Amino acid sequence: MTLDPRGDLVALFRAIVDIESVSGNERELADQIEQVLRPCGHLSVLRDGDTVIARTDSGRAERIVIAGHLDTVPLAGNLPSWVEGDLVYGRGTCDMKGGVAVMLAAAVALETPSSDLTWIFYDHEEVESAANSLTRIAATRPELLAADFAVLMEPTSARVEGGCQGTLRFTVTTTGRAAHSARAWTGHNAIHDAVDVLARLRDHQPEQPVVDGLRYHEGLNAVGIEGGIAGNVIPDRCTISVNYRFAPHRSVEQAQDYCRQVLDGYQLSFTDAAAGARPGLDRPAAAAFLAAVGGEPSAKFGWTDVARFSALGVPAVNFGPGNPEKAHADDEFCPVGDLFACRDAVLRWLG
Amino acid sequence: MTLDPRGDLVALFRAIVDIESVSGNERELADQIEQVLRPCGHLSVLRDGDTVIARTDSGRAERIVIAGHLDTVPLAGNLPSWVEGDLVYGRGTCDMKGGVAVMLAAAVALETPSSDLTWIFYDHEEVESAANSLTRIAATRPELLAADFAVLMEPTSARVEGGCQGTLRFTVTTTGRAAHSARAWTGHNAIHDAVDVLARLRDHQPEQPVVDGLRYHEGLNAVGIEGGIAGNVIPDRCTISVNYRFAPHRSVEQAQDYCRQVLDGYQLSFTDAAAGARPGLDRPAAAAFLAAVGGEPSAKFGWTDVARFSALGVPAVNFGPGNPEKAHADDEFCPVGDLFACRDAVLRWLG
């Protein structure tokens, strides 16, 4: 199977989908992408692990990063790809090989782009952050990620989704006193005490803040609960795991303070946090992009690697083919119209 | 080590404690008890697995069963036994080798009892009901358990505890709709829905019914809770495990109906149930026992094998040395005064 970046876009897309690249198995796809890009005279190509970076260096005033990950979540009997009407089904069709196909076609086609471009095809996005190759590259070669603006071609149904919400996780543990359940009154039931914590979470009204013109939608939810010792013992502990998705006007610290207010009186043990990213659509570099793409930008709710660029001072947006609600679904698919819409927008913007 | 049933009661007790007999390992202790009882001309001795049954057959008007189990819960570095003041410590001291020692001494001493006696030393009480040798004997040789009255020498601090409470377990599962936690509003959080179930359990006032003159104390408690799929997913299921301890005026079916009323609107999945036992202290056979033992009888809260006798139509009480709150505790102990009090009461009653 050879990738033809100048031929039919749907054929290129399906060829990319059909090269299985579950996280950790990106090599074959990275090799083929490298083989396509190496011969292009307008690109200098770097290989770092299974990440392929292709750059133009024409001395333009601005540099734009366009990035997408090569890996997918595990298969669910959904490869090779298949077509139903205008939809291409299969693992990775939504998240995010449509973006990879558009990037590959545009990287080859844009021989004299209006801005200098850095195309980043990277590995290990669908796993823990430490394994993500952008973590390594940001630490070892941050100059490769430097830019005035960045587009992540994650699925957005070919609309601009700005920034991303942050996320943090914590646990709250209620404690009681164990006792034989035949003499329950000699103990104190920690699971019953969870009522107040869960009621505050249930009754909490998530905020919908407007940040840089985009409306976000927060969420504060119990995502796990565990308690109990045995069927004849009054439980002395109950642990509730909570996930807070917060709009990017809050820092991680501010988000933690917010949770402490909602659950005032309880000890919160924070286990995990990732800052959000402001949409950055007010930056000059974004203006030409928005004009080329058209439509109303909206807020990105899920956390994406735009936050990494934001942390490096690079405003970043999400823009790619595929409905984000279908990411990771066993029946994930991509409408072929999204592929053309995204490719045409990128060529219009940078051509 | 040889058991001397006619010598010092505390020495006999400690010798029995020091023969380790965690459930499944009762043979050595059963062997030694059998060796003590076989030579007694007033007893006919049966061995069934590791259960030893010794009976008088003097044609008395009434037959009394006195029963105790040989096994203990697992060790916790608490053997061999040791003495601190008037307390003997070690695994089994409370539950229930004090009762076994009293039974062995009394079985040998009571050569011409006022009622015919059936002494039952049985195995596998501290494990699942199906393994309990009383389950087997009730099924295969129920005539061996027949009596007008039964005493289980489970720890009661040498007081009469009548009957026992029943117990049942069930689960309640709330269901929602899974969604990515970054778009929580597209799902429905099943853990948040547990609030209502837990609040009803927390706010429930357990009844304290008086049955046959004894006050019981019920309890309806969550003993386990589990929910959650992943840290970034709105949970679609939450399962609460509940234990209801009910006074013996209710049947299992009535107890189930009671739980259905408390949690009206929810589906209850019953997983386990054991009927309670009425105290039966109004039976004529109990009168002489109560007179000999003295003190005020009280209700037994925990489930014990008295319920098996009750189910066979034999009224039964708990009466034995050791504080029931210390059963299974790593620091379980028995006051030596309880041993003498119980032995003397049994001899007074049946001598």
Q: What single string gives the DSSP state of each residue in A284-329? A: HHHHHHHHHH-S--EE--S--THHHHHHTT--EEE--SS-GGGTT-
Which residues in B lie closer than 8 A to residue A195 (C-beta atoms)?
195, 198-199, 202
What mean pLDDT is predicted for residues A210-219? 94
Instruction: Look up the pTM and report it.
Output: 0.82
* Closest CB from A201, A241, A302 relative to B180: A302
User: pLDDT category, A94, cuts 50, 70, 90?
Assistant: very high
Question: Cβ contact (<8 Å) for B234 and A225?
Answer: no
Residues of chain B with pLDDT under 70: 1
Average pLDDT over residues A34-45: 98
Q: What is the pLDDT of residue B1?
A: 53
Query: Rounded mean pLDDT of chain A?
Result: 94
* pLDDT digits 0-9 by tens, A301-350: 988 999 999 888 898 899 999 999 888 888 999 999 999 999 999 999 99
Residues A26, A34, A50, A71: which is the catalytic one?
A71
Residue A83 has pLDDT above 70, yes or no: yes
A125 is catalytic: yes
pLDDT of residue B287: 81
pLDDT tens readout for residues B296-317: 899 999 889 999 998 888 988 9
Residue B349 CB neighbours (<10 A): 21
CA distance A239 to chain B (A): 10
In chain B, which residues have their Cβ closer than 8 Å to the Cβ of A193?
202
Bridge partners (DSSP) listed for residue A116: A63
Average pLDDT for residues A5-15, to the nearest whole number? 97
**Which pLDDT belongs to residue A297?**
93
Q: Show residues of chain B in contact with A228, CB under 8 Å.
A: 222-226, 241
pLDDT for residue A37 is more than 90: yes
Q: What are phi and psi of A4, to 5 degrees?
A: -110, 100
User: What pLDDT does residue A130 have?
Assistant: 85
Q: Verify whether residue B50 is a known catalytic residue.
A: no
Choose, out of A173, A174, A177, A195, the residue to mutate when testing the contact with B (most B CBs < 10 Å): A195
Q: Return the residue in A225, A325, A328 with the most chain B beta carbons within 10 A, the one to mutate for interface testing.
A: A225
Which pLDDT value is given to residue A1?
Answer: 53
Is pLDDT above 60 for A293?
yes
Instruction: Of A134, A159, A94, A86, give the one whose Cα is nearest residue A312.
Output: A134
B234: chain A residues, CB-CB within 8 Å: 221, 223
Q: Sort residue B155 into left (φ over 0), alpha (ψ -120 to 50) or beta.
A: beta
Q: Do B198 and A183 touch (CB under 8 A)?
A: no
Q: What's the pLDDT score for residue B307? A: 92
Active-site residue among B26, B71, B123, B148? B71
> In this structure, are residues A220 and A259 in contact, taking their beta carbons and an 8 Å threshold?
yes
Give the pLDDT score at A325: 86
Rounded distance between C-alpha atoms, residue A182 and residue A196, angstroms: 25
Six-digit token string for A315: 């405003």
